[in-house]
Structure formats: structure tokens, C-alpha cells
Amino acid sequence: MESSPKKTHKPNSSHFLTYTVWLVSLISLFTDIAGEMLYPIMPLYLQSIGFSVFWIGILEGVAEATASYSKGYFGKLSDAWGRRVPFVRVGYIMSIAAKPLIVATAHPLWVFFCRTLDRFGKGVRTGARDAMLSDATDAAHKGKVFGFHRALDTLGAAIGAALALVYLAYYPTDYKNLFLIAIAPGAVAVALTYLLKEKTKTRSESKAKVGWADFLRYWRLAPREYRSTVTGLMLFALFNSSDVFLLLALKAHGLGDREVIAIYIFYNIVYALFSFPAGKLGDRIGLKPTFLIGIALFAVTYATVGFADKLIVLIAAFFVYGLYAALTEGVSKAWITNLCRKEDTATAVGTFAALQSAATMFASFLAGLVWQQASVQAVFLMAAAGATLSLTYFGLFAKTKYKDL
């Protein structure tokens, strides 16, 4: 377990819900309203224009590969320039613009381009945004800050998916117009980025040049605790494919579009409700044990979904999956930012996110291949086994006492 966070002499450190935390969280809320209006129908739309499950896996893999590299590079660039806001703003603009463009034509190359542009925008903003959240508080409140951000982010996901459900109730299979409607909340998110305030630059070498592979050098320079932790997180990520496969599994169990989206909304409500309490739990008992509880719940979910044949069992599994997400998403970022120097925060988060996206790319490709060549059950058993392997690693090989640096 990591040691108790050291107290820092930061004014009003107990007031963790600062202007920056609220504003970044609201931007994420509106972005996810736009994005999650589309996410649960994305695999349905792709299948409607001729994509097989295998090619959906390839598409998600390519998109994640783009996000992977860009997260590391732009995180490093944000630290080198000592700037956060430009990366956050441009990243959101790119992602929000890409979503409606995907339905301009059903040509596979165009679909690949738009999906990749969306993920590239996420890569541009991720490191800088999380560094802004980290800089807004101290180590003792990181779990609560990242948990609060995840709560609003996921609340947006629930609202977006609910709007999609209502729309499809009146216009079944009319996916294209839903992509256009999603522009409205996206525009609100972009407008809010212009209210963000830049703090004093943290580095004197503003406008320093950063090579495309410079962020990879951080692995050698990073604290041992960071490398040990990220190794375990990547072991888990190698088997944690895109949530698209969970939605496709619901379809494979015979559920219709509206039932799939309804369960997805339920999952996001659970995720949103428990994210802040999970962050508080992380600050109280430690971020590492909180995260490991989440991984255990992931294994339970995937072992269940692959074999469930009753609706009530699937609903229960997605409740557990919501708890898993609440206990891991914000907690992992808080954990990572406590294992690096403040001036390397965006680089540390970006490098972690880059490696995580690369692992997700591999996991999505593998899941698509196993689904096509073996069975749905094999995909989910493989993911559950991977989670168990990660738990074993943290239990046996990552016993370092973590501390803030």
C-alpha cells in the first residue's frame, strides 16, 4: 500500500472543488453528452454500413493507436511549454468536430479517418487536462478531485445515452441525424474551454522543441514506483478491450438496440454515482487497494457477461461493471500523479495514457479476432483471466511502498 500522502503548504488545499476543477468537469460533462449520444450506437451504425465485428475491432485498434502516441507526445509538449489550456481547447475542438463528420459518407477510409481524428483530439488534451486537475489540489485530495471529474464526465455519458434512447424510440435506426444533433452539446463544451485560465508557466524553456519520441525517454527517468505501477496497469490493459465488445455481447444475447442503450445508461448512472465516493475511499484507504478492488470486480463482470442468459443477470453484471469503473478510472490517474514530480505531471499521465491506449489497441484487435475465430465466451474469459493476472502481479511483484515525490 502506498504511504499516506504528504501534506503540502498550498493555500485552501481543503477546498478541492476549485474553479478549475468545476470548469474542467463541466467541459467533460458536455463533451460526454455529445460523445455518449453516439458511443452506444457506434457499433450498431458501423454494422449497419457493413463493418463486421472483426473490422470494428481493427477500427477501434487503429483509433487507439493514434490516441496512444499523441497522448504521450502532447503530454510531454505541455510540460515543456508549461502550458495547459491550448492543448485542452484544441483537443476538444478536434474530437467534437470529428463525430458528426463520420456520417458524411460510409466509405471505410473516411470512417477510419474520422474515428482516428476523434481519438487524436483526445490524445492532444488528455495529459494537459489531467495535469490541470492535479495542479488544482494536493496529494491528500487527488482521489476526490479525479473522482469528482469522473462523476460529472460519466453523468454526461448517462445523459447522452438517455437522449439517444429517447430519439431512437421515435426514429429507430435513424443513426445519421443523431450524429448531427450531438453537435449542440459539443459546441457548449468548446465554448466553456474559453473560460479556462492558464496558470504561470512551470518551465523556463517555454516553446522548447519536443521530438515525437521524447516522451518515451520518460520511462527511463521516471521513479521506480511509477514504472512498477504502470507495468501492472498495462498488464491489465492488455486484456481490457473496448467497451464496444460489451455492447456487442448484449446484442449477441438477443437484446434490441433500445435494451442495449438502456443497460449502457444504467451502467453510466452507477459509474457516475460511485465515482466521487470511490475517490474519497482512495484518499482514505489508499489508491492502490481501491484500484485492486476495482480490477477484481472487472473479472467478475467479464466472467458473467460471457455466459449470462438472463436479462437480470446482465443488468447485475453491468451494475458491478459500473462499480469497477468508479473504483479505477479516476483513481488510477490520481495514483499516477502522486508518483511523479509536479513539473512532469502531463508527461507522466501522457506516457501512462499512451501505453494504456496501445494496450487497448492490442486488446481490441485480439478481442475482435477471438470473437470471429472462437466465440463470444472466449473473449470474456480471456479478459477475466487477464484481470486475475494483473491482481497476481500487484500482490506478488509490486509491493513497493508508494510515496509522493
- Which three cell numbers mark 348? 507522466
pLDDT of residue 399: 54
For 327-385, the DSSP string reads HHHHHHHHHHHTTS-GGGHHHHHHHHHHHHHHHHHHHHHHHHHHHHHT-HHHHHHHHHH
The set of residues, in sequence order, having a beta carbon less than 8 Å from that of 260 and lying 6+ positions away, is 40, 44, 247, 250, 251
Q: Is 255 helix (H, G, I), strand (E, B) or coil?
A: coil
Q: Which helix (H) or strand (E) holds 52?
A: none
**Of 267, 355, 354, 275, which is closest to residue 25 (Cα–Cα)?**
275
Mark the ranges of the chain whose per-residue pLDDT is less than 50. Answer: 1-14, 202-206, 400-405
The proportion of the chain whose per-residue pLDDT surpasses 90, expressed as a percent, equals: 39
Provide the CA 405 distance to its chain's centre, in angstroms: 25
pLDDT of residue 398: 58
Give all domains of the chain, ordered by start, each with its CATH number: 19-200+222-396 (1.20.1250.20)
For 182-234, the DSSP string reads THHHHHHHHHHHTT--PPPPS-SSTT----TTGGGGHHHHS-HHHHHHHHHHH
- Which three cell numbers mark 121? 483530439
pLDDT of residue 212: 66
How many other C-beta atoms lie within 10 A of the C-beta of residue 167?
A: 18
